[in-house]
Amino acid sequence: MDGYVSANELNTFIAPLVPFNNSDVFECNAALRLARIICTHTLMPIVCVVGMAGNVLNIVVLTSATMRSSTSYYLCALAVYDFLYSLTGLPLTLRTYPSLEMSSAYMNALTYLLPLGNMWSNITTWLTCAFTIERFVAISAPIRSRKISSIRRTQWNIVFISLLIAIITLPDFFGWKIREARRTCSNSAKRSNVKHNPMVPCVEMFYIFESTWISTQLDRFGWSYAIVALFVFIPLVVLTIFNALLIRSVIKSHNERKDILAGTAQINTKRRRKALPDAQPPPVRRELVWRKWWIATRYYQQNSFQRSAPSDRSPIETGSDRNTFTLPTSGGADETVGREFITTSDQHYYWFRCKNRDRKHNYEVAFRRSSHQDKQSITITLIAVVVVFCMLNAPSAVVCLIRPWFKPSDARIKAFGNISNLLLMLNASVNFILYSLFSASFRRSFRTLLKRCRC
């Protein structure tokens, strides 16, 4: 998303009328034509449409009630600006068609669409840096992060970053203008012009971009280099450093948790062995067996259990053989838990408490494990977003580095610019796939929304 696209980079034909050299004017380079056909004419419109659809789904899922968190607000703002970037980039895919260069309305619109797309890209860049730094603070200092991070503060951070970058990129809206130029006619124009005299060269008028006085004065102070450094190189360095720290913390946390779970399993095993008596419980007395059998029978009758008391056996045999029965859980559901009902009340309480404690401990461990896994999945999702961001924005940084060593009309730098622009547009379109792959909570929320839509 981050990449500073200049108007000259998108100029298809910038050669003047003289000399009438078709190879110089139209830059008949096979690599450039292939890059324009594949990247700009074919793939970029598809990527823009898919990106707009995916970002709309991101906004719908991330604004649901189950996804309310500070990270979700950052990702939702990211989806909004990615949608605007894809929407702005769709008209730019028509830039390489020669017929549109003859339209003054379209060329004038491009002087505003180019800085607008750069502004959405720059805001997205620093929003990515913001939530990466915030996530690192949340992992490295969780107690402090709870005090300083909140949904309200996140909203203010998004507004502040958006306004600040909009102010910084405001001069770009006054940096370009169009002027008329002339060139030799293309072959299709010659064929359409029936009255064309072969002895007189065919000339057609088109429009090209030109720097304004404001842009010239700003470039004298190194404004263009400052913009490239602020929105290309510095964010890439920041994201690389903090993303490496995030990856290191995730690996360290995973190893520590494996050790803790292994130790906890050993402690629980030893605790259960100590809690359970080695010998069998003492035999029950004869006079208490009748009471136990009567209480158990009344209990079954009152709770309407479909379980008949043994009629062909004596209470003594019942007490010696069947010394257990099923108790309902505290939730009142049909879930049953086998507990040994020993006649001595102290022993019964001891056994009930031990088993209930083990079950409660298992629930707490499962809950903590689920909460930890959700936090880990959020961190892994952000790591994946940043890794893809850096990979797809690196070619744009390379273009900015090597551009001073090439002429503006060089076909090689233009071909490489078409590829880097496609990768920038692709970066604005793949976040829905990344969220779906790495975030379990995002998948659950999206599945819930799909079920509601079906109903």
- Is residue 386's pLDDT more than 60? yes
- DSSP output for 246-278: HHHHHHHHHHHHHHHHHHHHHHHHHHHHHHS-S
| Confidence class for position 199, pLDDT limits 50, 70, 90 | low
| Confidence class for position 47, pLDDT limits 50, 70, 90 | very high
Q: Which helix (H) or strand (E) holds 119?
A: helix 104-140
Residue 73 CB neighbour total at 10 angstroms: 21
Instruction: Report the pLDDT averaged over residues 118-140.
Output: 92
Residue 225 CB neighbour total at 10 angstroms: 12
The reported pLDDT for the residue numbered 192 is 53
Instruction: Report the pLDDT averaged over residues 414-441.
Output: 91
Mean pLDDT of the chain: 75
User: Tell me, what amino acid is at 2?
Assistant: D
The reported pLDDT for the residue numbered 287 is 56
Please give the share of the chain, as a percent, with pLDDT higher than 70.
64
- Is residue 429's pLDDT more than 70? yes
Contact by Cβ (8 Å): 184, 201: yes
Contact by Cβ (8 Å): 132, 382: yes
The reported pLDDT for the residue numbered 161 is 96
Condensed to tens digits (0 to 9), the pLDDT of residues 203-232 reads 777 788 888 898 889 888 888 889 999 999
- Is residue 348's pLDDT more than 70? no
Please give the share of the chain, as a percent, with pLDDT higher than 90.
31
Contact by Cβ (8 Å): 393, 242: no
- Is residue 268's pLDDT more than 90? no
Distance CA 432, CA 51 (A): 9
Residue 91 CB neighbour total at 10 angstroms: 15
Distance CA 249, CA 237 (A): 19
- Is residue 440's pLDDT more than 50? yes
Distance CA 455, CA 449 (A): 10
Instruction: Report the pLDDT averaged over residues 378-399.
Output: 91
DSSP β-ladder status, 324-328 and 336-340: antiparallel
Q: What is the pTM of this model?
A: 0.70
The three-state secondary structure class of 61 is: helix
Phi, psi of 179 (to 5 degrees): -140, 160
Task: Return the domain boundaries, the chain.
Answer: 7-18+25-186+202-257+375-453
The reported pLDDT for the residue numbered 256 is 77
Condensed to tens digits (0 to 9), the pLDDT of residues 80-119 reads 999 999 999 999 888 878 788 888 889 899 999 999 999 9
Helices (H) and strands (E) in the chain, counts: 18, 4
The reported pLDDT for the residue numbered 371 is 53
The reported pLDDT for the residue numbered 343 is 39
User: Tell me, what amino acid is at 223?
Assistant: W
Phi, psi of 208 (to 5 degrees): -130, 165
The more confident residue out of 164 and 193 is 164
The reported pLDDT for the residue numbered 249 is 86
The reported pLDDT for the residue numbered 430 is 94
Residue 395 CB neighbour total at 10 angstroms: 18
Distance CA 216, CA 176 (A): 10
Instruction: Report the pLDDT averaged over residues 362-368.
Output: 44
| Confidence class for position 290, pLDDT limits 50, 70, 90 | low
The reported pLDDT for the residue numbered 84 is 96
| Confidence class for position 6, pLDDT limits 50, 70, 90 | low
Q: Could you identify the residue written with the tokens 């622009």? A: 421
The reported pLDDT for the residue numbered 362 is 47
Contact by Cβ (8 Å): 235, 165: no
- Is residue 422's pLDDT more than 60? yes
Contact by Cβ (8 Å): 95, 77: no
Instruction: Report the pLDDT averaged over residues 138-146.
Output: 80
Q: Which helix (H) or strand (E) holds 338?
A: strand 336-340
Instruction: Report the pLDDT averaged over residues 380-401.
Output: 91
CATH class entry, domain 7-18+25-186+202-257+375-453: mainly alpha
- Is residue 380's pLDDT more than 60? yes
